Amino acid sequence: MRARDDGDDVDRASSPERDATPTKSALAEHHIRSSRSETSRRYAGIVPGGVATRIGRADECARDRALKSRAEALRRALRETDAREDAAGTSARLYEYASVLQEQAERCGRDGDDGGMLEELTMRACDAYARAMEIDPGRQGVLYNWGIALGDRAEHASARGEDEKARRLWDEAIDKYERAVKSKDASTVTTQQAAQVLNNLGLAYQSRGGCVDFPRSASSLEAAQRAREERVKFLSAGVRKFRRAIRLDPSFDRAAYNLGTVVYALSVEYASMARLYPRDGSLAPMSLDYAAAAAVYVGLALANDPDSDVYSTSFDIVKNYLPVPHIVDDVFEYATNASAAGDFVAARLTLTPRALRLRSIRTTAAATDDADADDDDEEDVLCDLPLASIAAVDPLEDASLAADRARALVSLADPTADALILAHRNPRARDRLIDAALMTRALALRARADHVDALLDVAAARAPV
């Protein structure tokens, strides 16, 4: 899930059959409202200059008084600031003032405020961040928390039915997060911090896709299609950001879940287009492809946090798309980095909780004759890599190779071993394999392969016969 429950902007659905086309996304019901405002702030404090806003309820009244006092002191100090004061000091003071206002707004929202005071506080926080950036451009902490404040305002606007304002504010939030990713401070933050910024940026794109304006007139089919394409554009941008986050931190279960929700939303969009344009044979397979990806990402998020009710409920929606008893089961072409150029061999690739395995592809007759043989017959195994032996799995972009394949490079921990090159005609299948291999490897290294076994058992038990 994402950090808030943001993005699918599609309706609730019952659990789809394995080969059925998904209709509406029930995943959104469990992640849009809760995750962004909760998780984004939970990590705000780890960004340099960030503000921790998670505080205990028992301390509430004292904390409210302390925040009010601090805000007043900072406001007075900013009014009395001498023009000769150093820019960095003024920027830091503005940043602290904005952070205090944000925390006040959060507490105000928790106490059931009707929105007026909450909106006022977040607007003042945004103004203070803007002034801080004018003085000291490029600070990641300012940009990151400014993006959070703008996102909060966008959510409030959506709740009031102010859709145009919500779209504008989400666009502004996206701009701030994008600038935070590219800021001068970006090279100084930890991997976890960078992943958090990318996760929030993905959430912003997902939310922006959710509030695309669809024409009210049913006769405007062309306009509706343009709106759907615009939504797909924003959702696809969210996919790229979440994917970058989990490749930075493969154990980041929130980003994995959020990636699952956004690809499921894309599955829903392509299913809708397939119904509108039945002659386009590419749309329904695209929908199923994204649904399969959602099962992988949501499932692996659940393996990271088996106690999460949100992950578990969402996995129930998509589990029938998982290729049990494996996480990935597909046909790839493979070679080693020592192979002759173009010397690729087709093989069945399976990813299990503990290994990545390549097996020869049997002919139809051979498969029929040996139908009762063990699925993991050692005679068919071409390559069997324990996940612990894999050092890295990365996209391989090489202009010297044919452009009709998407490739991945599997590097091994043993420096004397040849790296493995995997190729697939579908870039989404390549990316899903990379993500799944990295996340499953991270689970195996943390002795959590049995968690993956458990989710595969759940999927197998519920899969239709």
For CA atoms 91, 96, 101, 105, the dihedral sign is: positive
- For residue 4, what pLDDT is reported? 35
- Rounded CA separation 107/68 (Å): 12
Report yes or no on 345 lying in a domain. yes
Residues near 167 by beta carbon (within 8 Å), at least 6 away in sequence: 208, 211, 212, 213
pLDDT (0 to 100) of residue 402? 73
- Whether the Cβ atoms of residue 177 and residue 197 lie closer than 8 Å to each other: yes
Long-range (24+ apart) CB contacts under 8 A made by 276-285 are 276/221, 276/225, 284/21
Supply the pLDDT for residue 8. 35
Distance CA 370, CA 366 (A): 6
**Which domain does 385 fall in, by range?**
328-450
Question: Is 186 inside a domain boundary?
Answer: no
Per residue in 198-250, pLDDT (tens digit) is 999 999 999 999 999 877 655 577 888 888 999 999 999 999 999 999 999 99
Question: For residues 460 and 324, is the Cβ–Cβ distance under 8 A?
Answer: yes
* 91 part of a folded domain: no
Q: How far is CA 26 from each of CA 32, 38, 319, rounded to the nearest angstrom? A: 11, 20, 13
- pLDDT score for 393: 97
Q: What is the DSSP string of 269-296?
A: HHHHHHHH-TT-TTHHHHHHHHHHHHHH
| Beta sheet of 420-424, edge-to-edge order | 381-386, 355-359, 345-351, 328-336, 420-424, 406-412, 390-396
Which residues in the chain come in under a pLDDT of 50?
1-25, 29-59, 83-84, 363-373, 465
CATH value at residue 438: 2.30.29.30
- Tell me if 108 is assigned to some domain: no
User: Which amino acid, residue 362?
Assistant: R
The per-residue pLDDT for 91 is 85
Q: What is the reported pTM?
A: 0.83
Q: Angle at the Cα of 14 (from 7 to 159), degrees rounded to 5?
A: 35
Say which amino acid occupies 441. R
pLDDT number for residue 103: 87
Supply the pLDDT for residue 28: 54
In a domain, 348, yes or no: yes
DSSP string, 249-265: -TT-HHHHHHHHHHHHH
- List, in sequence order, the alpha helices (H) in 305-378: 309-318, 364-369
- Looking at residue 188, what is its pLDDT? 78
Pairing of strands 328-336, 406-412: unpaired
Question: Is 337 contained in some domain?
Answer: yes
- Residue 326: half-sphere exposure toward Cβ, Cα within 13 Å: 17
Question: How many structural domains does the chain have?
Answer: 1
Neighbours of 444 (CB within 10 A): 20
Residue 360, in any domain of the structure: yes
In terms of DSSP bridges, do strands 381-386 and 355-359 run parallel, antiparallel, or are they unpaired? antiparallel
Q: Is residue 115 part of a domain?
A: no
Per-residue pLDDT at 20 = 39
Q: How open is the CA angle 38-40-42, to the nearest 5 degrees?
A: 65
